Amino acid sequence: MHVTGTVPPSAPAPQETPAAPAPARQSPADPGDSGKHARRFGLPVATALVMGNIIGGGIFLLPASVAPFGTVSLVAFGVLTVGAIALALVFGRLAERDPRTGGPYVYARAAFGDFAGFLAAWAYWITTWVSNAALAVAAVGYLDVLIPVNDHRWTACLAALGIQWLPALANFAGTRWVGAVQLVSTVLKFVPLLLVAVGGLFFFDADNLGPFHTGDGSAIGAVSASAAILLFSYLGVESAAVSAGEVTNPRRNVGRATVIGTAGAALVYLLGTLAVFGTVAHDELVNSTAPFSDAVNAMFGGGWGGWVVALAALVSMTGCLNGWTLLSAQTPYAAAKDGLFPAAFARRKRGVPTFGVGVTVVLASLLTVYNYTSGSAKVFEVLVLVTTFTATVPYLLATAAQLFHLLSGRRELVDRRRLVRDAVVATVAAAFSMWLVAGAGYAAVYQGVLFLFAGVLVHAVMAARAKRMK
């Protein structure tokens, strides 16, 4: 593979879908993938990438974010888990069919053509760098437990920027360092999570749970609204699929890593959230900026436990940002190789698309500064709801691609022994994605649509350029 100015041929139209997946265009022979700092991921690291990206800043702050809805949000967690596992199964089956780097982008383009592929890539790219900004904001809440930074807006902003740039530097160092940081941080993050998830059950007090449903709306509406916020905690289900080109034996390992990582994260999530709800009084939890630290302090008294959890949470979030920073560059890289993103995104060193990493961290930094200077009291929630909408676009396109393959009658693309089961799973995943769009709320959909429409203009420019060069 060589990065040149030549634009590759357009993807076939839906009715011309190839009988077999196109061969992976990224190979170890790529000059940008060589050297001691570039290394492919095995099943353990791929699973750690999925779990590390799912279990990041979300779980450490979201119990406080959904507490205002009442314990009905636990129902939302259960529904969300079913949908997330359905998505994981869909991504696993799609990766078996087409194990190239890019995930939803690759699947949407192969099924529906260039424009659908571009929308998937554009929306997913937006999701990643907005998520990075949200993760950094969440991390500042735990840093404040160790070093007071939240009392001054600019101090908190600078801390969030520093937390974003450290993982970016690890990515610039190469995939070898990305994998090492991901594996270590994934192991370390389970210390506070298991401490609260398991230990909290021994200190559980039902009086701390508060009301089942707060507010004037319906319980179903509260489930949808809380699920829209909670989706942020499940972003990363597609991590192994997006980085399939860097995974050894991707047809086998991507699906396994996706399902194992998602199921493990779901179990930790449900136990951890339930334990926080049962150890921290509801009135305190609503206003908490570090709910897991508050849970440990409530369990053991004093502040030392909260400090330990805050430190581990910072390690976890830094590791999550490390993985998300890599993912944020992988989809634009795949799209750039097909001429749908600017060619600069295809630049790659030590196995990492360095230009994409740089652009992503700069955009996330600008968004972080904007949200702190705008004076929003709910910076994390605002960012989370935007990513909820943008994430559903590639998710929905990927599940639609799976349904397309199942219903198109192409026997060479479908395992007929699993046709009914795959169709049911894909339908559940698609319905789940549509439900999340409704739960994101008008404001999030409005902002998300503006982001998507900006992408339509970019696609028009890239398509015109490609046609002119033919």
Place of tokens 């998830």: 197
- Whether 395 and 160 have beta carbons less than 8 Å apart is answered as no
Which letter does DSSP use for residue 67 in this model? G
Q: At what angle do helices 57-66 and 219-230 cross, to 10 degrees?
A: 160
Place of tokens 């970019």: 458
> 3-class SS at 98?
coil
Q: Which of 381, 388, 325, 337 is nearest to 123 (CA)?
A: 388
For 141-295, strand residue ranges (E) read none
- pLDDT digit of tens for each residue in the chain (470 aa)? 333 333 333 333 333 333 333 333 443 444 444 444 445 667 777 787 787 667 765 667 678 878 888 888 888 888 888 888 888 888 888 888 888 877 888 899 988 999 999 999 899 888 888 888 877 877 887 788 788 777 777 888 888 888 888 777 777 766 565 666 666 666 676 776 777 778 787 888 888 887 777 766 677 778 877 777 777 677 778 777 777 777 787 788 888 888 888 888 888 878 888 888 888 888 888 888 778 778 888 887 766 666 777 787 787 777 778 777 877 888 888 888 888 888 888 887 766 788 888 888 899 898 888 877 776 556 666 667 777 788 888 989 999 998 998 888 665 566 667 788 888 899 998 888 887 777 677 777 888 888 888 888 988 888 888 777 76
pLDDT of residue 31: 46
**Tens digits of per-residue pLDDT, 315-364?**
777 777 877 787 788 888 888 888 888 888 888 776 678 888 888 889 98
pLDDT of residue 301: 72
d(CA 349, CA 324) in angstroms, rounded, equals 18
**Tens digits of per-residue pLDDT, 442-451?**
777 888 888 8
d(CA 158, CA 152) in angstroms, rounded, equals 10
Percent of residues in the chain assigned helix, strand, coil, to nearest 5: 75, 0, 20
Cβ-count burial 367-389 (b if 16+ within 10 Å, e if not): bbbebbeeeeeebbbbbbbbbbb
> 3-class SS at 34?
coil
Q: CA 71 → CA 117, 206, 219, 228, distances in Å?
A: 39, 11, 10, 15
pLDDT of residue 470: 67
pLDDT of residue 216: 67
d(CA 425, CA 90) in angstroms, rounded, equals 7
Q: Is the dihedral of CA 401, 406, 411, 417 positive or negative?
A: positive
Q: Which of 180, 157, 158 is nearest to 167 (CA)?
A: 180
**β partners of residue 41:** 247
> 3-class SS at 234?
helix
- Whether 121 and 335 have beta carbons less than 8 Å apart is answered as yes
Q: Which two tokens stand for residue 324?
A: 């998300």
Side-chain half-sphere exposure of 424, counting CA atoms within 13 A: 5
- Whether 63 and 277 have beta carbons less than 8 Å apart is answered as yes
